[in-house]
């Protein structure tokens, strides 16, 4: 709860103004606040424009606020499903049983490290296990062709903390490629023609 108050203080708005900003982003009516009074500060601070459209600055604030709530909910999501363990084991076994030459890290991580990472991934993304496994196969095939250069471990492929607060997921990018049809198991090598 302290984090949301800190975010509100640092952004220079009130809780009512955050509520109004959220309402504008969802195109919903507000209740229980003086909208015209709260709107003035949002316009002055450039969180919204004159036509009540949320500005890019306002969208960044809403994403930051949403992340605070999402992390709280996803951290408490229990995993008791037997299919989760079976699918996570299958996922981990797609990675080779090797130690990467450059980093000296094992490609396969322990299930104790993978479980919280995958719980986070499933709570924050809408991909099913079939898509996750297809995306992983594409990634593994690509990295094998380049002798495992810059290959992430099975845990870091799911998520890696970038700056202490945010997570980066390469698995999410590969899942999106599978869903868009842009990812394939074929190599796409570009050759330069010299005339």
pLDDT (tens digit per residue) in 154-166: 999 999 888 777 8
Identify the pLDDT of residue 111: 86
Average pLDDT over the chain reads: 83
Confidence bin at 132 (pLDDT 50/70/90): very high
pLDDT (tens digit per residue) in 80-129: 456 888 899 999 999 998 888 788 888 899 888 888 888 889 888 888 99
DSSP state of 110: P
DSSP state of 54: B
Torsion 159-160-164-165 (CA) sign = negative
Distance in angstroms (rounded) separating the CA atoms of residues 175 and 183: 9
Confidence bin at 3 (pLDDT 50/70/90): confident
- Cβ atoms 152, 160 nearer than 8 A: yes
Give me the numbers of helices (H) and strands (E) for the chain, helices first please.
Answer: 9, 2
Torsion 180-181-184-186 (CA) sign = negative
Q: Where are the domains of the chain?
A: 2-75, 82-180
**Helix, coil or strand: residue 168:** strand
pLDDT (tens digit per residue) in 15-66: 999 999 999 988 888 889 999 899 998 999 888 988 888 888 888 888 888 8
pTM for the structure as a whole: 0.54
Region label for 150, one of left (φ > 0), alpha (ψ between -120 and 50) or beta (otherwise) = left
Distance in angstroms (rounded) separating the CA atoms of residues 189 and 156: 26
Evaluate if residue 68 carries a pLDDT over 80. no
């Amino acid at each position: 709860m302290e984090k949301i108050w800190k975010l509100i203080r640092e952004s220079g708005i009130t809780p009512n103004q955050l509520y109004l900003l959220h309402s504008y982003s969802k195109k919903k009516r507000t209740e229980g606040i003086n909208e015209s009074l709260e709107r003035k500060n949002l316009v002055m601070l450039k969180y919204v424009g004159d036509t009540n459209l949320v500005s890019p600055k306002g969208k960044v604030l809403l994403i930051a606020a949403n992340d605070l709530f999402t992390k709280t909910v996803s951290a408490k999501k229990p995993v008791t499903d037997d299919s989760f363990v079976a699918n996570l084991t299958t996922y981990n076994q797609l990675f080779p049983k090797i130690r990467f030459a450059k980093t000296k890290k094992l490609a396969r991580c322990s299930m104790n490290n993978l479980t919280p990472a995958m719980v986070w991934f499933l709570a924050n993304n809408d991909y099913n296990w079939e898509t996750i496994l297809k995306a992983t196969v594409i990634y593994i095939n690509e990295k094998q062709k380049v002798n495992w250069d810059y290959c992430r471990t099975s845990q870091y492929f799911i998520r890696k903390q970038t700056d202490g607060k945010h997570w980066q997921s390469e698995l999410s990018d590969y899942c999106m490629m599978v869903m868009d049809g842009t990812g394939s198991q074929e190599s796409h090598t570009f050759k330069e023609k010299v005339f």
